[in-house]
Amino acid sequence: SQQGEEDPQALSIQEGENATMNCSYKTSINNLQWYRQNSGRGLVHLILIRSNEREKHSGRLRVTLDTSKKSSSLLITASRAADTASYFCATDALSSFYNQGGKLIFGQGTELSVKP
């Protein structure tokens, strides 16, 4: 079954507004990562949060993790047109890490559109 599910599937905002994307997962994790994919390009790693962390910041990005609810959120503040992309959360299942080396399980992604 799919590990990560994201919502919303699509989000359209104006430049300068904040964008919030949510991710839920099903099994115990070692860490959770957020990636961005610009159209036609590869995945760019944004931020990693470990299972014992609750919040992490990187520039205009803020990630929270609630392991009791098995959910995470990605907040992009003061969005820019260049932030338009697909955003994916990916989990590294704890059992997978110790047994097999940490394959990532991705959600379906959120398509973010930031209008100038």
Partner 1 sequence: EAGVTQFPSHSVIEKGQTVTLRCDPISGHDNLYWYRRVMGKEIKFLLHFVKESKQDESGMPNNRFLAERTGGTYSTLKVQPAELEDSGVYFCASSQDRTYASYEQYFGPGTRLTVT
Q: Does 39 bind partner 1 (CB under 8 A)?
A: no
Q: Tell me whether residue 83 or residue 92 sits nearer to partner 1 (CB atom).
A: 92
Residue 106 Cβ, how far from partner 1 at the closest point, in Å? Answer: 4
User: Side-chain half-sphere of 57: how many Cα atoms within 13 Å?
Assistant: 3
The single residue among 7, 73, 106, 113 that binds partner 1, judged by CB under 8 A, is 106
Q: Does 61 bind partner 1 (CB under 8 A)?
A: no
Q: Tell me whether residue 45 or residue 115 sits nearer to partner 1 (CB atom).
A: 45
CA-nearest of 20, 39, 30, 28 to 3 is: 28
Q: Tell me whether residue 19 or residue 105 sits nearer to partner 1 (CB atom).
A: 105
Residue 28 structure tokens:
């115990």
Identify the residue whose tokens are 């009791």: 68
Q: How far is it, in rounded angstroms, from Cα 55 to Cα 66?
A: 9
Q: How far is it, in rounded angstroms, from Cα 68 to Cα 86?
A: 26
Q: How far is it, in rounded angstroms, from Cα 62 to Cα 43?
A: 19
Stretch of 14-22, 33-41, 55-63, 64-72 contacting partner 1, by CB under 8 A: 33-41
Residue 58 Cβ, how far from partner 1 at the closest point, in Å? Answer: 12
Q: Does 50 bind partner 1 (CB under 8 A)?
A: yes
